[in-house]
């Protein structure tokens, strides 16, 4: 496992649509392991493959006791809305108020290629939406109602 470089706002890869994963091999497993290690190293709660320079549809997260990796995830249902503060490892030092669905159902594949479906609320739902946005080249700052620079820790950034 290795800590990878987190790409920051302004780098082209963060604005590109990531490609679907077709091969479930050792290369994918290594990417997922590296993504978890990178996320923990930078005190994040979620990370998308484009954030580490890989244009593939892969996300990892560890939120409220739920640790997961999803490949080719998609939101298949959503309900309600809420506004809350978000940050991002790719946009260091900036936080913003973002309106998101309060509940989501996400379908994707586990790292071994088996199908998975997840219902989520609260912070987990927010993190899933944030990371899936990354796969489409969308940053939280694009959706923020209000942004504010914050000095200090980036802990809890997705």
Domains of the chain: 12-149 (3.90.45.10)
Given strand 82-86, what is the order of strands in its sheet?
82-86, 94-100, 144-149
What's the confidence (pLDDT) of residue 155? 43
130, 120 Cβ separation under 8 angstroms: no
88-102 pLDDT, tens digit each: 999 999 999 999 999
What's the confidence (pLDDT) of residue 120? 97
Catalytic residue among 37, 74, 117, 131: 131
Catalytic residue list contains 131: yes
What's the confidence (pLDDT) of residue 149? 77
pTM: 0.93
DSSP 157: B
What's the confidence (pLDDT) of residue 22? 97
Burial class (CB in 10 A: 0-12, 13-18, 19+), 26: exposed
Q: How many CB atoms lie within 10 A of CB 30?
A: 12
How many Å apart are CA 45 and CA 89, to the nearest integer?
10
How many Å apart are CA 20 and CA 100, to the nearest integer?
24
What's the confidence (pLDDT) of residue 157? 52
What's the confidence (pLDDT) of residue 156? 47
158, 87 Cβ separation under 8 angstroms: yes
124-151 pLDDT, tens digit each: 999 999 999 999 999 999 999 999 877 6
Low-confidence ranges of the chain (pLDDT < 50): 153-156
């Amino acid at each position: 496992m290795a800590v990878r470089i987190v790409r920051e706002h302004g780098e082209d890869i963060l604005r590109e649509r990531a490609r679907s994963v077709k091969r479930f091999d050792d290369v994918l497993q290594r990417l997922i392991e590296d993504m978890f290690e990178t996320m923990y190293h930078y005190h994040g709660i979620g990370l998308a493959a484009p954030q580490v320079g890989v244009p593939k549809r892969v996300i990892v997260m560890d939120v409220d006791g739920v640790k997961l990796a999803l490949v080719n995830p998609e939101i298949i249902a959503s309900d309600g809305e809420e506004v809350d503060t978000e940050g991002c490892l790719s946009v260091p030092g900036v936080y913003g108020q973002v309106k998101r669905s309060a509940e989501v159902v996400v379908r994707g594949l586990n790292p071994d290629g088996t199908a998975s479906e997840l219902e989520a609320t609260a912070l987990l739902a927010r993190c899933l939406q944030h990371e899936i946005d990354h796969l489409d080249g969308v940053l939280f700052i694009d959706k923020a109602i209000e942004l504010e620079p914050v000095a200090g820790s980036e802990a809890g950034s997705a």
